[in-house]
Chains A and B, each alone.
Chain A
Amino acid sequence: MSDLTVAVPEEKVASTKAVVMNQVAGPEVRAESPLYHADLDSLAKQGPRKGGVRLRENKLLGHLTLRCNPNNADQLAAVERVLGMALPLQPLTSVEKGDVSIRWMSPDEWLIIVPGLKAFDVETRFRDEMDGHYSLVNGSGGSTVLELSGDNVVDMLKKSTPIDLHPSEFPVGKVVSTVFAKSTAVIRRTGEKQFELVIRRSFSDYLWLWIQDASREFGLVVDA
């Protein structure tokens, strides 16, 4: 095995950079969100305006999964330089600044959500700033964000997930990845009666049907 190893010159190792592809070339390129077929924009215009649960798809955002060493001060400083805020190191916490948000996913993994057209720029800056062993993956196409709010939003979520949603257990800013219906979701509380769900693209239609059914008794309002 050892005689097959190709010696790589030192300087080449240092200059090796991951190739970053711009997945969204620009605003003029047509893109379909995972719930495109549900035509939420028309429902927002024609559907009921009163109800206990409100739903909005925050579509076509940039979803970046960062894995790095939480004990490496250089990497933490680099993240702060790129995103303008420190990684949340406490379990189940999140931070948000302007249109960028970071969710704790596991002790060495974070989900960063940025505006779709900013993803390439953020990714490129990470490649320049970060040092050492880390991984940054753009999974934007694989998931979407649902914003759920309203007076009955907690009642609707209680039907779908075993997580304790009482404000004393689930304060604003807390984030959990858990089972949701028969799928999974990353649930974050963004307000007293407002939650954000990051869901898989392949489950988005199922969850859209599920949420409609679970919200039926309270009334579902779709926002554009």
Chain B
Amino acid sequence: MFHIYCPHCAEYREEEEFHASGQAHIARPLDPEACSDKEWGEYLYFRKNPRGIHHELWVHAAGCRKFFNITRDTQTYEIKEVYKIGEQPSVVAQSGNSK
């Protein structure tokens, strides 16, 4: 079980209250009409599955119902940091070991 800090409620809650919503920081192409099928397909369907640092979108579903980001290590399950939407992560994977 995770013990997750909600940046909006400003306290730790059980994982039961949260829902994971997949990879964070997926930018929608500014001009979808100008995208190739490959670019659009990758935007819609292709997601990272890293071993190590991963930035994820979570929602405090049973609490304040706000979305926020979590940086998590997929190997150790350790939550490295929690930050609000619109902010940038301070913990990022080293280019050498992110595959």
Q: Report A's interface with B, CB cutoff 8 A.
A: 91-92, 105-107, 109, 162-163, 176-179, 184
Determine if A162 and B65 form an interchain contact, defined as CB atoms under 8 angstroms apart. no
Q: Which residues of A contact B17 (CB under 8 A)?
A: 162, 178-179
Quick one: which of B1-25 are within 8 Å of A by CB? 8-11, 13-14, 16-17
**In the docked arrangement, what's the CA distance between A212 and B64, Å?**
28
User: What's the A-B contact tally at a CB cutoff of 8 Å?
Assistant: 37
Q: If A91-B10, A106-B8, A162-B16 touch, does A179 touch B64 (CB 8 Å cutoff)? A: no
B contact set with A: CB distance below 8 Å: 8-11, 13-14, 16-17, 62-66
Tell me the bound Cα distance from A144 to B16 in angstroms: 23
The interface centre, meaning the residue of B8, B13, B64, B66 with most chain A CB atoms within 10 A of its CB, is B64
Q: How far is the CB of B84 from chain A (nearest CB, A)?
A: 10
User: By the criterion CB–CB under 8 Å, are B63 and A178 in contact?
Assistant: yes
A63 CB, min distance to chain B CBs, angstroms: 16
Decide: B9 and A91 in contact? CB cutoff 8 A.
Answer: yes
Q: Evaluate contact between A107 and B8: CB separation under 8 angstroms.
A: yes
**Complex-state Cα separation, A163 to B16, whole angstroms:** 11
- A179–B16 touching, CB < 8 Å: yes
Contacts of A178 in B (CB 8 A): 13, 17, 62-63
Q: How far is the CB of B3 from chain A (nearest CB, A)?
A: 10
In the bound complex, do residue B16 and residue A177 qualify as a contact, i.e. CB atoms below 8 Å apart?
no
The residue in B13, B62, B65 that gathers the most chain A C-beta atoms within 10 A of its C-beta is B62
| Residues of A close to B66: CB separation below 8 A | 106-107
Q: How far is the CB of A167 from chain B (nearest CB, A)?
A: 15
When chains A and B are docked, how far (Å) is the Cα of A70 from the Cα of B33? Answer: 38
**CB-based contact A177/B64 at 8 Å:** yes
Q: B62's contact among A91, A92, A109, A179, by CB below 8 Å, is which?
A: A179
What distance in Å separates the Cβ of B25 from its nearest Cβ neighbour in chain A?
Answer: 21
